[in-house]
Structure 1
Amino acid sequence: MKQTLEEAKREYIEKYVSRNEYASFGAAFEAGAEWHKKQSPWISVEEQLPEENTGVFFTVEWKDSHKGYFTGLYYGNSQWESDHRIFLPNSPLGRITHWMPIPKFNNNNKS
């Protein structure tokens, strides 16, 4: 089960923060959580590439300026594949701009 922001804050404060620092730390914790929530999960290929042979989500910007979103593999050497489409570096048709890892799902939830 996921923790709420309030539960996560309380748990952290109880473990690591003295009672004198509670109010100021609580506000800082919430501000950090809000900042993190606003961050994009997409990673620019100019900043970082996934590990080789990794399944990821990725975006393709086509030469006519529209974008496509795909699930596929990054093979390395700027080569990507999705549903029998291979995207090569320096393609005149489109280029990969961003990627993000496929999230792992928690299988500990028993219904």
Structure 2
Amino acid sequence: MKQTLEEAAYDYATNKTKFRKEVLKEVDSDNYVSRKSDCMEDFQCGAEWHAKQSPWISVEDRLPKESGWVFVAGGRNPYRALFYCAGLFYSDVTLGTFDSGVTHWMPIPSFDEILEANRDVLERIKEKGD
């Protein structure tokens, strides 16, 4: 069973503060509850940061909201574009052949999004005069 972020943070904080209290003898009883709460918050912030680092979205987390072309990973031929419709990833718009092995997907960025993401590279090229 998959844990929620809150459950994982609670388990992490409990184990971390228990170790610090019982083994390292670092945490006094007055400070223990506050330290555990801070530890949970830090864990959740780190997990949320990590989730934003990859553009790939697990099909277990969510599927595309609308039909259309998306990049996919996993399945018969990883790293390609497939058409998404009605909960399945199809190899063409005729919806004739679908691939059930897809594990991750991401929206295909617009040209403007690609330009914005690479603005610093374009500025460096402009400065060099290439």
Name the TM-score, length of structure 2 as normaliser: 0.39
Which one has a larger percent strand, Structure 1 or Structure 2? 1
Name the TM-score, length of structure 1 as normaliser: 0.45
Larger Rg: 2
